[in-house]
Amino acid sequence: MLEQFLNHIHQHTLCRKDDCILLAVSGGIDSMVMLHLFQQAGFSIAIAHCNFQLRGKDADGDEDFVKTVAAQQNIPCFTTRFDTAAYAEVHKLSIQMAARELRYRWFNEVVTHQGFTKLATAHHLNDSLETVLLHWVHGASLDGFAGIPVKHSNIIRPLLFASREAIEQYAKAHNIAWREDSSNQTDDYQRNYIRHKIIPALKELNPSLEYTIQRSFGKVAGELALLHRGLEAWTDQYVTVLHDRITIDKAYFQGATHEASVLWNFLKEYGFNYDVCMDIVASLHGQSGKRFYSSTHQLVNDREHLLVTKQVNGWENARIEKDQQQATFGIWNMTILPSAVVQKSSQVYEATLDAAKIIFPLVWRKWKAGDAFYPLGMQHRKKVSDFLIDNKVSVADKDTVTVLESQGEIIWVAGHRIDNRYRITETTREVITFRVSPHFPQ
C-alpha cells in the first residue's frame, strides 16, 4: 500500500517532500493508517485532533489516545474541543454539518498560524462512493457524481485510492492501533445506512464495486471538464457582465433543449436552484418584468434579456420634486418626461397622465395594506390588494409593487394601472410620462 500511496500522491501532485503537512487524525482506523503511511514515507508531519464532545467518555478516550500516540512518536499534536450540540442549535444546523464547519475552521486556523503548507484528511474510496450515492438519492447534478475531490486548495486526500477493506488489511498487517467509533456501527445517519445496507447489496451484484466506481470517477471528471468548457463557450456567446449587472440573451432559448439545466449551471453561482430555473424558463414567453429571487440576487425577465443583479435593500420612500427627471427606489429606476404632445402610452411600465392634475412633490413608495385607487376605466375605488389578486400578481412580485402618490392620492400602481382620475382626456393640454425600469446598483 505504501507504493500505491506514493503513486497516488505523485499522480495528483498532492504534496512534496519539503511540505509541512498537518494530518487530521480522529484516532479511527483510517486516520491512523494515514499517519503510519506518512511516517513510512518520511514526510514532515503534525497531528490535529478535534473532540466534538458528542460521545462522552468515548470522545475523551479518542483524544487521550491520539495525544498518547503523538507523544510516543514525538509528533507535534494540536487538539481542541467544541460544544458541537450548542453550535448546531444556535446556527440551525445538523450535528454533522456543525461538526464539519467547526473542524475545518479550526484546521484552517492551525494551518495558517503554525505555517503548515497542506492539510491531509483520511477520506478513502468507500467514503467517496457513499458520498456519490447520497448525492444520487438527493438529486445531485453531474458534479455530485465525481466523488470527493482529491485536493481542494491546500486540502489533500491521500487515501482516496484505497478501499476500506484494504485499509483494514494494512492496519492488521502492521499492528496499527486505533479507536473504534461506535457511531459508525449504527444506522442512525444516512451515510451509515448506505454503508451498512445499500453498499453490501450492490456488492452482491458487483464484488469489485469500489474499483468500478473509482474508474467511473475518472470518466466523470473528463465529462465535467468538457461541460465546463462548453459552459464557458455558452457564456461567451450569450452572457454580458457589466459591473454587477449580468445580461443573458434570450435568443439562446429559441429552439434550445434542456434550457433549465443550462441556465442552472450558470446561475447556481448566484444562489438560484434548479426549480427556480425551471420557473424562469417557463416564464420566458410571458409578460416581461417578472422577477425571480435567490438569497442574494434577483433576476428580471426583460423583453430580450434575463437581467441578474444583487438584491437591493433600500426601500425608503422616494420624494420626486417638480422638474426632477430621474428617481431611484429600491429595485426600480423612474424617468419623468413632461411633454406638450398629448399621446397615450400603451406600455405596461409607462404611465402618461394629465399634467394639470398632478401636484408636486410626489411620493413614490411601496404599496401597503389599505391602499386604494380608481383603476383606469372604473368609477369606484378598489383596494390595491384586491387589484393585485384579480390580476394574479404572484406573492414574490407583490413585494416589489410600488405606487406613485400626488397629495396623498395614488396616481399610478407602477407597472400595472394608472388611476382613472388622472387619465388623459379631451381637455388635456400637457402630459407627464413616468417610466419605470429595473435598477442596477453600480
Got the DSSP string for 216-282? Answer: HHHHHHHHHHHHHHHHHHHHHHHEEEETTEEEEEGGGGSS-SSHHHHHHHHHGGGT--HHHHHHHHH
DSSP code of 289? T
Residues 360 and 305 in one domain: no
299 compared with 438, residue with greater pLDDT: 299
Residues 142 and 171 in one domain: yes
Residues 56 and 84 in one domain: yes
> Which among 310, 328, 343 is the end of a domain?
310
Residues 342 and 303 in one domain: no
Residue 313 is predicted with a pLDDT of 64
- Does residue 234 form part of some domain? no
Nearest residue to 164 (alpha-carbon basis) of 192, 139, 190 = 192
Residues 88 and 195 in one domain: yes
Lookup: cell for 238? 450569450
Which CATH number do you get for residue 251?
A: 3.30.465
Which residues lie across from 156 on neighbouring strands? 120, 151
Confidence tier at 342 by pLDDT (50, 70, 90): confident
Residue 397 pLDDT exceeds 80: no
> Which among 205, 220, 235 is the end of a domain?
220
Domains identified in the chain, total number: 3
Distance CA 19, CA 81 (A): 27
Residues 214 and 267 in one domain: no
User: For the ranges 69-83, 144-158, 386-400, which has the lowest average pLDDT?
Assistant: 386-400
Residues 89 and 36 in one domain: yes
The residue segments making up the domain with residue 201 are 2-220
> Which among 254, 285, 310 is the end of a domain?
310
- Does residue 424 form part of some domain? yes
Question: To 10 degrees, what angle do helices 259-267 and 274-282 make?
Answer: 130
**pLDDT, mean of residues 360-368:** 94
- Does residue 206 form part of some domain? yes
With residue 14 as reference, give the H or E element that holds it: none
Residue 168 is predicted with a pLDDT of 96
Residues 263 and 391 in one domain: no
- Does residue 236 form part of some domain? no
383 compared with 188, residue with greater pLDDT: 383
Side-by-side strand order, sheet with 305-310: 239-242, 245-249, 305-310, 297-301, 290-293
Residues 124 and 260 in one domain: no
Residues 204 and 96 in one domain: yes
Residue 240 pLDDT exceeds 60: yes
Which CATH number do you get for residue 412?
A: 3.50.40.10
Lookup: cell for 262? 443550462
Residues 299 and 387 in one domain: no
CA–CA distances in Å: residue 51 to residues 97, 156, 253, 415: 15, 22, 52, 58
Confidence tier at 182 by pLDDT (50, 70, 90): low
Residues 324 and 299 in one domain: no
Which CATH number do you get for residue 82?
A: 3.40.50.620
